[in-house]
Amino acid sequence: MEQAPPDPERQLQPAPLEPLGSPDAGLGAAVGKEAEGAGEESSGVDTVFVVVVVLFTFVQMTHNNFWLKKIEISVSEAEKRTGRNAMNMQETYTAYLIETRSVEHTDGQSVLTDSLWRRYSEFELLRSYLLVYYPHIVVPPLPEKRAEFVWHKLSADNMDPDFVERRRIGLENFLLRIASHPILCRDKIFYLFLTQEGNWKETVNETGFQLKADSRLKALNATFRVKNPDKRFTDLKHYSDELQSVISHLLRVRARVADRLYGVYKVHGNYGRVFSEWSAIEKEMGDGLQSAGHHMDVYASSIDDILEDEEHYADQLKEYLFYAEALRAVCRKHELMQYDLEMAAQDLASKKQQCEELVTGTVRTFSLKGMTTKLFGQETPEQREARIKVLEEQINEGEQQLKSKNLEGREFVKNAWADIERFKEQKNRDLKEALISYAVMQISMCKKGIQVWTNAKECFSKM
């Protein structure tokens, strides 16, 4: 039976979150006694690159249910373009071709490929939206906008063809990370990013995600003023800082090694030149010296391909360098929720105290209202009853608000920690594979060096 296509009108809002993992202690436990006292809580193509296709299961939404559809995603080309920006100034930028293709088809129908072009800034917009709507998720990072940790042979120009190719691979990896995520893959804005070229930005802006984004000043304020931070998230924040520091140092060391290794290999080209010149003046030894020189030339030129392969391993490390900031984003959101909860508990406790003072007629703390009473006399019973009634309504609202924030906080912690555990498994697996592959590549490189000198030795032996 043919599946119904997704309804465009239902593609505008994110899918409801599903509970993940086992429940954890919520934010309310961190409020402590204070909360208890307060109640319940376009131009020509510049460069075309090879297509890298990965298969994944993408979830689309119909009117009443989810249905699975297997789709291939690839960022297959990069193209340099020139156009005008929002300030009507001419600029040069790179556009990337995203191709999606369904692999499920029946009745002998041909498989159609959808394609559209996106700029890097549109990838940034997609990620900004995901950060706001899914604050409990470690959102995959984008590849670097400008080259970092470069060594002398690499260009820091963001229009350099080699850099654009590595960024193309990184952008494809970014999309595949989202597509393989159990929650992010269900998002309608992500689906439209892959399928709707025109008016996509307007569709994203209509969600109002910018208004829901937390300000940096508010997040900084929460970081320093929260009284009862969750130790798990505090430790995670410290871990993300240390992870970023360690990977940064590793990338710097690797860049220095690449610089020196490149020089060592290229200097071997001098052996080739000297042996070739020497062979010209020797009769019996000439052929052996010429062959040895050829092996030295091959050895010297091999470093270009070796270091090009190394860059891909460096990019894998850089992804987790940027993942560290994604971890901190989850921690900052938790701090904001904790701070809001503490402020709500504090405000509720203050209103309860005011109500108690009005009922008993005793003032336990200094207040402007108390000074006013002393200067201008006591309130009438009717005024006091009216104020008590207003405070009781505010207390009731505050208790409901505190309870709601507690429930929201518990749900956030449960979902966030489940996704963090998922991320840890992914990180351990990816970094293990990357480091093993890097070690294997270094072993292979050393073996090739040994083989070159073994061949040179044989050439010398035949002289």
Output the DSSP codes for 63-131.
SS-EEEEEEEEEEEEEEEEEEE-TTS-EEEEEEEEEEEEE----TTPPPPEEEEEEEHHHHHHHHHHHH
* Cα 260 from chain centre: 32
Question: 336-366: string of b/e by CB count within 10 Å (b at 16+)?
Answer: bbbbbbbebbebbbebbbbbebbeeeebeee
pLDDT, position 57: 41
The answer to whether the CB of 200 falls within 8 A of the CB of 193 is yes
- How many whole angstroms separate alpha carbon 439 and alpha carbon 441? 5
**Residues with Cβ < 8 Å from 426, sequence gap 6 or more?**
none
DSSP letter at 207? T
CA 423 vs CA 14, 153, 167, 333: distances in Å: 21, 34, 22, 17
Q: Name the residue among 20, 115, 137, 6 with its Cα closest to residue 68.
A: 6
- How many whole angstroms separate alpha carbon 358 and alpha carbon 354? 6
- How many whole angstroms separate alpha carbon 321 and alpha carbon 453? 38
pLDDT, position 367: 55
pLDDT, position 149: 60
**φ/ψ of residue 44, rounded to 5:** -65, 160
- How many whole angstroms separate alpha carbon 290 and alpha carbon 292? 5
pLDDT, position 163: 84
Identify residue 241 by its one-letter amino acid code: D
Q: Name the residue among 414, 411, 406, 417 with its Cα closest to residue 340.
A: 406
State the residue for tokens 């260009």: 155
- How many whole angstroms separate alpha carbon 75 and alpha carbon 171? 7
Q: Name the residue among 461, 452, 451 with its Cα closest to residue 269.
A: 452
In order along its 463 residues, the chain shows pLDDT tens digits of 434 444 433 333 333 333 333 333 333 343 343 434 433 333 333 433 333 334 444 444 433 333 335 778 899 898 888 877 666 678 888 999 999 887 765 555 555 678 899 999 999 999 999 999 999 999 999 998 877 666 556 555 677 888 888 899 999 999 999 999 999 998 999 999 998 888 899 999 999 888 887 766 666 676 667 788 888 999 999 999 999 999 999 999 988 888 888 888 888 889 989 998 998 898 888 899 999 999 999 999 888 888 888 888 888 999 999 999 999 999 999 988 888 888 888 888 888 888 887 787 766 555 555 555 555 456 677 878 888 888 888 889 989 988 998 999 999 999 999 999 999 999 999 999 999 999 999 999 999 899 999 999 999 988 8
Between strands 54-61 and 113-119, the pairing is unpaired
**φ/ψ of residue 385, rounded to 5:** -65, -40
pLDDT, position 384: 80
Question: 291-326: string of b/e by CB count within 10 Å (b at 16+)?
Answer: bbbbbbbebbebbeebbeebbeebbbbbbbbbbbeb
The answer to whether the CB of 94 falls within 8 A of the CB of 79 is yes
Q: Name the residue among 378, 335, 462 with its Cα closest to residue 27.
A: 335
pLDDT, position 225: 79
- How many whole angstroms separate alpha carbon 113 and alpha carbon 99? 7
Is residue 47 within a helix (H) or strand (E), and if so which, with residue range?
A: strand 47-48
pLDDT, position 8: 36
**Residues with Cβ < 8 Å from 415, sequence gap 6 or more?**
17, 19, 20, 21, 136, 137
